[in-house]
Structure formats: structure tokens, C-alpha cells
Amino acid sequence: MQYLVQLRAAMQQANKIDAGDGPGPTFGKIIDRFRPEAIYGSPDHRSLIMIVDLDTPVQMAELMYLLTWFTGSEPTFTPVMKPEVYGEAIEAAKRILLPPTT
């Protein structure tokens, strides 16, 4: 399943990261491990979003722990899917119950 993962670093922890080697080495390891489809940072605050495939609850928990320990804040995970999946889901749902007409 794909997830949009959003993260904003706690100020004190972000300052500690910046005073050291910066976020690059740790995020490099996270990228190597989870191979996100996309990853973006924001130029106006210390945050990032990524799209990542997580096949099991263990993978989700592993990424949550890594990001929490590193940044001092908890990430949010939002399930996402490509638009073409909706058609398949709607047809499957219609086999059980038709949608309201009004």
C-alpha cells in the first residue's frame, strides 16, 4: 500500500541535527531502505513529505520509529492510491450494494 508520509521536525531536535552532519546521512539511509517514489522538503520550515510503499504493518512501524527518533516528532501516514484504482473499487462495491441515486 502506498502512503503519503508527512513529517515536521521538532525545533530543538532540528537544531541539533543541523549543528551536526545535517539530515542528509540519516535520510540517505531511510531512502535506501524504503525507496520512496517521491520525497520533497519545504523551503519555509523543517518538514518533508514522501510517497512510499509499505507492504506490512512492521514496515510502517519501522519507518515511524526511525522518523520519530530522528526528528523528535511523530509522522502522519495517509493511505493513497492511483486514480485508476477507484473504478475497480466502485465495481466491487456495486456487487454488494448499489450507491444512492440522490
Report pLDDT for 102.
Answer: 83
pLDDT per residue as tens digits for the range 18-71: 999 999 999 999 999 999 999 999 999 899 999 999 999 999 999 999 999 999
Residue 9 confidence (pLDDT) = 93
Going along the chain from its start, the domains and CATH numbers come out as 2-94 (3.30.70.1060)
Residue 7's nearest CA partner among 79, 72, 81 is: 72
Q: Encode pLDDT of 70-100 as tens digits.
A: 999 999 999 999 888 999 999 999 999 999 9
- pLDDT score of 34: 98
Query: How far is it, in rounded angstroms, from Cα 76 to Cα 2?
Result: 13
